[in-house]
Amino acid sequence: MRHLYTFTLIAAVAEAGSMRRAAEDANITASALNRRIRRFEAEFGCEIFERLPGGVRLNPAGEMILHHFRTIRSDLQRVQGQVADLSGERRGHVRVACSQALLPYFLPQQIARYRADHPGVSFAVNVRDRAQAEAELQSFSSDLVLVFEPVSLVDFEILHAAPQRVMAVMRADHPLAAQPEIRLRDVLAQTYVLPTARYGVRHILDRAARRLQHSLAPAVETESFELIRHYVVHERAIGFQIPIGLRVPAVPDAPDALVARPLAERDVPRGAVFLGQMRGRTLPVASARFALQIAAALAGLPD
């Protein structure tokens, strides 16, 4: 929208850290940009940037302005969505940030189901770790977040929480695969593969290991759960994942097939997948409806 152009530029400058760089990105000259910002500051009543040698940085007032901007922009999009909705178009766009575990099965299925009813609604799905996901909400970059074990819950309004046990993933012919439930100390004696500290699974395992006076020594540490999953086939190691990210047969049909066994709950407490939005925000219709569907689906999960 035309009337938000100045705010867009302010956001660009804040991100770039320099007017000249932001001006290049926005395809205008630095002088024009500079004058827009100076004019806004005059109107608003105070400067919103600290001028430093080498660039600019938002001051506290500027931070507030930027937040205000993001609020009204998302609010305007919501209004536009509602208007489209009342003219019967039922269009919209849903932006979701989620943990890796939601990618292979859960989200594709849910999105497809939603789009079967509402083909006019498009989706943007971004993979984010726990901390990034919450930042996405605060900056209004995502409407919904679906994440295992969120970090701070500041500005995070919980729409639903689905408990998830941590599962050990291994080849069917792995020595531990015979047990229906696996003790953590048995895992520690084996070769195992872990996600990095940014992820909820690792966080839970770290705490559990600390309680056993152990520290974790993974053979491989990675950001990719897909790598974990494939790696355990090659080295007969143990990987970890939560049920929502798994679809493996209880009875394997081949020795190199994957099996998943829950970790004993007395060793490793269950975590939860949280569905959340920005606190206090009114979601666009499409996002709100999708959130309802997700919440229902999470509630219907086994376990």
Partner DNA sequence: CGACCCGTTGCCCAAAATGCACCGCCGGCA
Partner DNA sequence: TGCCGGCGGTGCATTTTGGGCAACGGGTCG
Residue with smaller CB distance to DNA, 19 or 208: 19
* Separation between Cα atoms, residue 43 and residue 65, nearest integer Å: 13
| ∠ Cα 266 294 229 (to 5°) | 55
**Nearest approach, Cβ of residue 72 and a second copy (Å):** 4
Residue with smaller CB distance to DNA, 39 or 214: 39
- The radius of gyration of the chain's CA atoms, rounded to the nearest angstrom, is 24
3-state secondary structure of 208: helix
Told to check if 83 binds a second copy by CB under 8 A, we report: yes
Told to check if 46 binds a second copy by CB under 8 A, we report: yes
Told to check if 34 binds DNA by CB under 7 A, we report: yes
Told to check if 28 binds a second copy by CB under 8 A, we report: no
**Nearest approach, Cβ of residue 84 and a second copy (Å):** 7
Which residue matches tokens 């984010």?
128
Q: Which of 4, 12, 18, 75 binds DNA (CB under 7 A)?
A: 18
Residue type (1 letter), 192 = Y
191 touches 169 (CB < 8 A):
no
Q: At what angle do helices 285-299 and 60-86 cross, to 10 degrees?
A: 90
3-state secondary structure of 79: helix
Told to check if 79 binds a second copy by CB under 8 A, we report: yes
* Separation between Cα atoms, residue 113 and residue 297, nearest integer Å: 11
Told to check if 53 binds DNA by CB under 7 A, we report: yes
Segment 55-84, which members bind DNA (CB under 7 A)? Answer: 55-56
Span of 22-30, 90-98, 166-174, 219-227 interacting with DNA by CB under 7 A: 22-30
Among left, alpha and beta (phi > 0; psi -120 to 50; other), residue 259 is: beta
Told to check if 65 binds a second copy by CB under 8 A, we report: yes
Residue with smaller CB distance to DNA, 56 or 194: 56
Span of 56-64, 177-185, 202-210, 241-249 interacting with a second copy by CB under 8 A: 56-64
* Separation between Cα atoms, residue 278 and residue 282, nearest integer Å: 9
Q: Which of 27, 87, 213, 215 binds DNA (CB under 7 A)?
A: 27
Told to check if 54 binds DNA by CB under 7 A, we report: yes
